[in-house]
Amino acid sequence: MPSRTWSGRLLDVASAVVPGIGRVRAQKEPFARAWTEANRAALGSGRPRWVALGDSMTQGIGAEDVGGGWVPRLNARLGERFAVVNLSASGARIADVLDDQLPRMLALPSPPALVTVLVGANDMLTPARRRGAPDRFAELLDRLPAGRSVVATLPQGNPEARAVNELVDTAAARGDVRIADLRGGALGPLRGSLAADWFHPNDVGYTRIAGLFEPPVRAVAGRGEPD
């Protein structure tokens, strides 16, 4: 699980000043519990499995409730085709996906039909965190199941984010992954799309993210079941 750092302590201070930060942070534990319960049900459902990897945005933090995140919204658009196993964690960085979430995915009783990855925002917060992020993301791309993975690009414009996005583009050109492209103006205007902490998406923002993931997810879903 992600370790507590100076940024967590800084958020403690900010929560005392900006009430919205505390309200959004308070979602972390109940949302995690809800996904743990949903994951248990998904494993016994018999439907094709969608494994969601990532950070708080894949948890849906900032939405009105856990069903308002982009993952449940997209699965609803797909007619609840998939049984979602959401292995994401609030605060997760690329290394957490590599060291914790991917091993848990590989330990599941059968391979997933779909894997989505939305991670890297927490790696872009400071120059120190950004160091080594492209190398870690390259390893992540190498370890994803080819042909069944949809990976989000990073919207940030710093050199490390651009390097990560070039890696995703290269993997997509090889046919290893499909892209949910969050670059440029893809996420739309920030006004009206952010939660009370002014960092996480709200229901409007998550609806947009679901829309960006929908075409590549539908493309993977059309390939059929994994061998």
- pLDDT digits over 5-39, tens only? 434 443 443 344 455 787 878 889 999 999 999 99
Give rounded-to-5 percent helix, strand, coil for the chain: 50, 10, 40
Percent of the chain at pLDDT > 70 equals 90
The pLDDT of residue 224 is above 70:
no
Among the CATH numbers 3.30.70.260, 3.40.50.850, 3.40.1410.10, 3.40.50.1110, which is that of 6-221?
3.40.50.1110
DSSP conformation class of 115:
E
* pLDDT single digits (tens) 79-131: 999 999 999 999 999 999 999 999 999 999 999 999 999 999 999 999 999 99
Please check whether residue 150 is in contact with residue 109, taking contact to mean a CB–CB distance below 8 angstroms.
no
